[in-house]
Amino acid sequence: MNQRELFLRHVAQTSTAPLALEIVKAEGCNLWDASGKKYLDMIAGISVCNVGHRHPKVVKAIKKQLDAYMHLLVYGEMVQTPQVQYAKLLTSHLPPSLNSVYFTNSGAEATEGAMKLAKRVTGRTQIIAFNKSYHGSTQGALSIMGDEYWRNAYRPLLPGVLHLEYNSWESLNEIDGQTACVIAETVQAERGVFTPSAAWMQALQQKCRDAGALLVLDEIQTGFGRTGSLWGFEQFGVAPDIVLLGKALGGGLPLGAFIADKKIMSTLADQPVLGHITTFGGHPVCCAAGLAAMKVLLKIIDEVPAKARMLAELLVHPSIREVRSSGLLMAVEFDSFETNKRVIDACLQKGLLTDWFLFAGNCLRLAPPLTISGKQIKKAAKIILSCL
């Protein structure tokens, strides 16, 4: 029995039609399968590999940490240098009020932690989220997911969740003294890269302040330079009370975090003690990898806007209805899911890996490593156009 057959038999599946590519090597922006076929990766593990696959400095940091120690004890009990140094670097590039980092294993767990923190701090229970939003797939995160198709099979979910329309001025009136927090993506990625107006984002922040609710901004997919700035919220002139991180945070290894002010975060440490706890959150090897990746990232972020413009300008074709871009997070819109699926499949045959969006099946996802070269951008555009 070959590896693909073993994969289908013994590895739990998330759909009835997985890609099932047997990848044996990944380097930079490229993947190679068991037959030796090379693929240009235009989704970066869904915005995980922002500095590319196996960046030399990330690999070096992992090996160095492996020679020191791996898991020691549950999170928060021991001083671990990779955690400390990464938290220091992260907070030095965030607003002053975002100064305390709680590391988790994933973005979904960061969402869960932020929801608990908001309830604990405010003493309220209502959580507001938005339609067509995605914050993870655990039960709490699923409760605030903005699409009933995914929620319905797992009800009952968390009570007290209100879903509103994103970028709607009327929706802001629903935020009141019952609201513990409002959780919003900086850019709605899975909707097909939907960007709100800066005025609305600023009004959302002010409404939360007026109501005494916490503003939680999800930068899990939009953080770490993906949108052309280190954090997406910088482009709107706002600062959240809690920010959610994941995906690219670990430099290719599993890592998430929620970050808030120390005065807020300290409420999780008392009454009850261990109010939020994780065994592997902030694993030292993952933190070492993430720290190295972020240092690389800070040197290349300025290149993202020009690369995004190049790719968008090359993607001109009668079959393309629109190209929406927030940096190197891009949605290429077609008339239907069927057209999109044909393009995705044809691209794969020609050695280009791309994908669709959860709430926008007619849109092609483009989110390559931020290290992608101009030559690779031209190659990607040429393949996509040839498939049309």
Question: Residue 242 pairs with which residues in a beta bridge?
Answer: 216
Please determine, for residue 345, whether its predicted confidence score (pLDDT) is greater than 90.
yes
Give the side-chain half-sphere CA count within 13 A for 186: 31
d(CA 261, CA 369): 31
pTM of the model: 0.96
Using alpha carbons only, how large is the chain's radius of gyration in Å?
21
d(CA 342, CA 319): 12
Residues 331 and 351 sit within 8 Å (Cβ to Cβ): no
248: confidence class by pLDDT, cuts 50, 70, 90:
very high
When pLDDT is averaged across residues 190-219 and rounded to a whole number, the result is: 98
Closest by alpha carbon to 49, among 219, 296, 228, 232?
296
Closest by alpha carbon to 369, among 358, 361, 377?
377
Q: Give the domains, in start order, of the chain with CATH numbers.
A: 3-54+300-386 (3.90.1150.10), 58-297 (3.40.640.10)
Please determine, for residue 231, whether its predicted confidence score (pLDDT) is greater than 90.
yes
234: confidence class by pLDDT, cuts 50, 70, 90:
very high
When pLDDT is averaged across residues 334-361 and rounded to a whole number, the result is: 97
d(CA 266, CA 191): 35
d(CA 282, CA 74): 9
- Alpha helices, DSSP H, located in the chain: 3-10, 44-47, 56-66, 81-92, 107-122, 139-144, 148-151, 198-211, 262-265, 284-297, 304-314, 337-349, 374-386
263: left (phi over 0), alpha (psi -120 to 50) or beta: alpha
Q: What is the pLDDT of residue 19?
A: 87
DSSP state of 22: -
Residues 249 and 226 sit within 8 Å (Cβ to Cβ): no
Q: pLDDT tens digits, residue range 267-317?
A: 999 889 988 999 999 999 999 999 999 999 999 999 999 999 999 999 999
- Token digits for 365? 């996802």
- Token digits for 148? 């009933």
d(CA 246, CA 141): 14
